[in-house]
Structure formats: structure tokens, C-alpha cells
Amino acid sequence: MDAVVVLVLGLSCLFLLSLWRQGSGRGRLPPGPTPLPIVGNILQIDVKDISKSLTNLSKVYGPVFTVHLGMKPTVVVHGYKAVKEALEDFGDEFSGRSIFPVMERSNKSCGIVFSNGKKWKEMRRFSLTTLRNFGMGKRSIEERVQEEACCLVEELRRTNGSPCDPTFILGCAPCNVICSIVFQHRFDYKDQIFLNLMEKFNENFRILNSSWMQIYSAFPRIMKHLPGSHNNVFKNFDDIRSYILEKIKEHQETLDINNPRDFIDCFLIKMEQEKYNQMSEFVIESLVASVNDLFVAGTETTSTTLRYGLLLLLKHPEITAKVQEEIESVIGRHRSPCMQDRSRMPYTDATVHEIQRYIDLIPNNVPHAATCDIRFRDYHIPKGTNLITSLTSLLHDSKEFPNPEKFDPGHFLDESGNFKKSDFFLPFSTGKRACVGEGLARMELFLFLTTILQNFKLKSLFDPKDINTDPIVSAFGHVPPLYQLSFIPL
Ligand code: HEM
Ligand SMILES: *[C@@H]1O[C@H](CO)[C@@H](O)[C@H](O)[C@H]1NC(C)=O
Ligand SMILES: *[C@@H]1O[C@H](CO)[C@@H](O)[C@H](O)[C@H]1NC(C)=O
Ligand SMILES: *[C@@H]1O[C@H](CO)[C@@H](O)[C@H](O)[C@H]1NC(C)=O
């Protein structure tokens, strides 16, 4: 395959060079390192650690600067003031997403995460309303998460206290929560349909993280005709799409307009209400794409946070012991944790916040794009320019969080041990594009972690001081190193 890649790269150079000529010299973009033709600033950026490289560049060029990733200029915003200004004060202007070729070919621009304009506004508003507690008929979202937390504990009991890699089980729980919300039912962790669905999402994650996909994104027209693992992504998308379509059909056959059971029912009702509107965004293809988006955005994020969280708790047994004390005194052993408990559990709340702050899951946020020509801090940013907002620069700000590289729930506690909020805590971003699943994700993190710690003692295979908690940087974000642990029933 190497020869093909070289050929492809070569052929594309001329094409890209012409693009680069067109792209340079318009407007007055923020300052930045001088780009080379074709590769831009890629040699000045360590692709293995983009967020650190951007922090380094911000020391030279200030809080708003331009880097060229390949041909395209990308504006980078760094630090609390500038990030808040871009995402909140210029919320509408920067609320776009640029379209990646992979997304285009898989109808992803129909959903929530990668859509734009009227379609995005309506899909987003609908999802936010529906995901709000009690949005879907009789069963609240909290009940669905609690049910899953119980099943998760049962599954962990089956490991009989022997050492295991928690990746698979911690991947099932958040995926099942989305299943429960969109399809009404959770699945057994051994259910073949469930395992197939998870495997397809996971495989796409692995491929999207590989160099194949990066080449595809750069040269979609050519790659489309070449063999390679990027084609599996489309095969997987098709399979997922057929499965979702099959489920939608089942829902249509059993729909009771007065009794929506889940996300799909709510969407079908909306479709019914808008059936005479020719311009309606509520069509089947948007439903498929939105359901797909909920899985993609809501599964890996939450499960990686849980897995990283348990690693940090293993590394810091003294912190885990304090959380367990709080669980014992506020909840006890004989009932399931619920969201109401959180306000009486400041130490646990602080620990969950600290897990999210420390791991800094999505260091550079999901890229935004300018929806129009923008005047931002005396710079001219043309419509369509990509915008990277550094969330690391807030979560690891050393004034707001002294010793930011240290895991310490004290970052979210005041002197008397009360929970202390921070405006710098933006792991879900902020503004018009902020995470649609924030409420759900925080519920899952709190309920899953407290339910696990209520039932098990976490046991490491090594001395805690030998546990490595440094993140592995992937295209997706920060993931924890592989590890094993035992769940010893309490
Ligand atoms: C720990 C878990 C999670 C983290 C850290 C997280 C973080 C994020 C971030 C940083 C963004 C991009 C915001 C921006 O562009 O400014 C985002 C977008 C999004 N997230 Fe989450 N997320 C999590 C869980 C979830 C869950 C459980 C769901 C499912 C309900 C979800 C659904 C979405 C959607 C639909 C978007 C796209 C919003 C848009 O483009 O308008 N996320 N998330
Ligand atoms: C950032 O700068 C530091 C100190 O100058 C340097 O050691 C480090 O390698 C740089 N990191 C990246 C990813 O560029
Ligand atoms: C995209 O949507 C169209 C209908 O709008 C459908 O025919 C096509 O199969 C979809 N493609 C994929 C990859 O889902
Ligand atoms: C993504 O790719 C990087 C580098 O190739 C690798 O180290 C990492 O483990 C991969 N991450 C995932 C989630 O597959």
C-alpha cells in the first residue's frame, strides 16, 4: 500500500498547492508561525501532543493565533478570557462545523454533531428537550441510568474478585444507557445484537483514529476508489443504519402518540406534527443520523472517563476511602444512589469534577467554524475558517487550579469542605454548541461511580505509587493506559 500512498500524495501536491495560493493573503488573520507550502505548520506541531504544542505557541503569539494545518488556516483560541469570548460572546458567529469528507459520505451532516444551519438548530433543540428529565413519558432518564448501574454492579460481581481489564464492561454501560433512551430497552451484556452494535462503533473508532482515515480526509476523491480499511467504516455505517431503520420500523408499528416510550417515539410524533411542512427537518434520515450521533458522542466519552476515573481512584486510595466514607454515611448499603444525594456529598462531587478536570478528555474541543465573516479582537476571520478552542488551557490553568498536574479533589473544595464551583470547569465546552449530553453524562458519572464504590473495594495489582496515570494521546483525545484491577465485594 505504501507505493499507492506515495502516488496519492504526489498527485495531490499540485492540487493542494493551487488551493494554498488561493487561501493565502485574504483578510488579516491573527498572527502565527509562518507556514510552509503544502504542509503548513505541521512541522512546528507535535501531532502526538497537539494541545501541548498549542500551549507552547500561545506563549509566543498570545491567546489568539493562526496555525496552518496543511493548507487551511485554523484560528486557535487559548486561555479563559479568549475561549469564553469566542464560545459565548461570539456564540452564533462561531457555531458552525466544517464538514469532513467521511461525514459527508455517511450522511453525518444530517444529525447534531456535524450539521449546520437550520437543520442543526432544530435537531439540537429537539434533542435537548427530549433528553431533559421526564422528556420521554413515564420513565425518567435517572431511572434508566440507575437500572443500568445495578446491572453494571451485577456484571462486575461475576468477575469474582479476579483481576480484569475494565474496558469492555465500562463500555457496555454507557452504550446501554443510550440504547435505553433511544430504543426503550437496555440489552444483556451478552446479547449478540448488542455486542455487534458495540463492535461496529468500536471498530469505526479504531479506524477513524488510524492514519488511513487521515489520508482519506485529505484526499477523499482518490481514496474512495482505493481498497483499504477506510472502506470498512462505510460498511459499518451501513450496518448501523440498517439496524436503526429496523428499530424505527418497529416503533412506527407500535407507536402510541399519547405515550412516547423513548427518543425515537418522540421524533416520530414530531414528524407526524410536521407532516404538511415541506421544509420540515424532521425526516427519517435525520432521525437515523441523530440516533447515530447520540451513540458516537455519548458512549466512548463517558466510558473513557469512567475507566480513567477508576485508574485515578486506584492510584489514590486515600481519596477513594474518603469517597466511600461519604457514601456510607449519606446513602448507606441498602438503597441505590440517586441524584438528590449529590448535594449532600461535596467530597464525592469534587472528586468526580476532579476526574474530568485532570483527564481533560477532549483537550482541543471539537473544532468550530465561522458561520460568517467575523471581526474578532481586531482580526478579520473569514467565513468557513476553523476554530480550535483549547479546553486544556482552562482545565489546567495554574492560577485557578494550583498544581494542575496533580490529582486533588481539593481543587473543587473550600476550606470548610464545601463544594466549590469553578467557571474554568468546561470539559463539556460552553455556548451554542456545548455538549447536548452534559446532564446525562454527569448523571452517569455520579451514579456509576458511587454505585461501584458502594459495592466494591478496588484492588490494584501494583503498589499505587507504581501506577502510571499519564494519558495516551489519540486522535480522539486523552485515554488512560491499559490496566487491570479487581473488584472485591464489600
Ligand atoms: C464525559 C462525557 C462527555 C464529554 C466530556 C463530552 C464533551 C463534549 C464536547 C467537548 C463537545 C463539543 C462541544 C463544542 O463543540 O463546543 C460535545 C458535543 C456533543 N456531545 Fe458530548 N460529551 C460527553 C458525553 C455526551 C453524552 C452522554 C452525549 C449523549 C447524549 C453527548 C452528546 C453530544 C452531542 C450530540 C454533541 C454535539 C453538540 C453540537 O454540535 O451541537 N455527549 N460533547
Ligand atoms: C513545549 O515546550 C517545552 C519547553 O520549551 C518543550 O520541552 C516541549 O517539548 C514542548 N512541547 C511540544 C509538544 O512542543
Ligand atoms: C443517505 O441518505 C439517503 C437518503 O436521504 C440514502 O438513500 C442513503 O443510503 C444514505 N447514505 C448512507 C451512507 O447512510
Ligand atoms: C489511536 O492511535 C494512537 C497512535 O497510533 C494509539 O497510541 C492509540 O492507542 C489509539 N487509540 C485508540 C483509542 O485506539
pLDDT tens figures, 327-351: 999 999 999 999 999 999 999 999 9
- Residue 161's pLDDT is 96
| Cβ of 95 less than 6 Å from ligand 1 | no
Please report which confidence band the pLDDT of residue 45 belongs to, taking 50, 70 and 90 as the band edges: confident
- Asked if 172 contacts 236 with a C-beta cutoff of 8 angstroms, the reply is no
Return the minimum-mean-pLDDT range out of 127-131, 135-139, 278-282, 474-478.
135-139
Longest pairwise C-alpha distance within the chain: 69
Supply the DSSP symbol for 86: I
For atom 7 of ligand 3, the residue with the nearest CA is: 285
* 106 Cβ inside 6 Å of ligand 3: yes
CA angle 428, 433, 434 (to 5 degrees): 20
Q: What is the pLDDT of residue 219?
A: 55
Mean pLDDT of 370-393: 95
Mutate to test the pocket of ligand 2, among 47, 52, 364 (most ligand atoms within 8 A of CB): 52
Q: How confident is the model at residue 355 (pLDDT cuts 50, 70, 90)?
A: very high
Q: Which ligand is nearest to the CA of 244?
A: 3
Who contacts 370 (Cβ-Cβ below 8 Å, separation ≥6)? 93, 94, 96, 381, 382, 383, 384, 385, 387
Residues 6 or more apart in contact with residue 311 via CB below 8 angstroms:
467, 469, 480, 481, 483
Measured distance CA(136)–CA(131) in Å, rounded: 8
CA of 371 to the centre of ligand 1 (A): 20
Q: What is the pLDDT of residue 21?
A: 42
Any residues with Cβ below 6 Å from ligand 4, and which? 206, 209, 472, 474-476, 479
Whether residue 386 contacts residue 319, with contact meaning beta carbons closer than 8 Å, is answered with no
pLDDT confidence bin for 220, thresholds 50/70/90: low
What does DSSP say about strands 386-389 and 379-381: parallel, antiparallel, or unpaired? unpaired
Q: Residues 81-119, buried b or exposed e (16+ Cβ, 10 A)?
A: ebbbbbbeebeebbbbbbebbbbebbbbbbbbbbbeeeb
Nearest-angstrom CA–CA distance, 17 and 351: 50
Q: Which of 169-178, 227-236, 360-369 has the lowest mean pLDDT?
A: 227-236
Cα 35 to the center of its chain, rounded Å: 30
Among the atoms of ligand 1, which is closest to the Cα of residue 304?
1
Task: Select from 224, 285, 290 the residue to mutate for testing ligand 3; criterion: most ligand atoms less than 8 Å from CB.
Answer: 285
The CB of 366 under 6 Å from ligand 1? The reply is yes
Report pLDDT for 101: 61
- 432 Cα: distance to centroid of ligand 1 (angstroms): 12
Judge whether residue 301 has pLDDT over 50: yes
pLDDT recorded at residue 47: 74
Q: What are the CA-CA distances from residue 163 to residues 63, 160, 309, 312, 484 (Å)? A: 46, 9, 17, 17, 6
Residues 122-142 have a mean pLDDT of 85
pLDDT 10s digits, 304-318 = 999 999 999 999 999
pLDDT reported for residue 235:
82
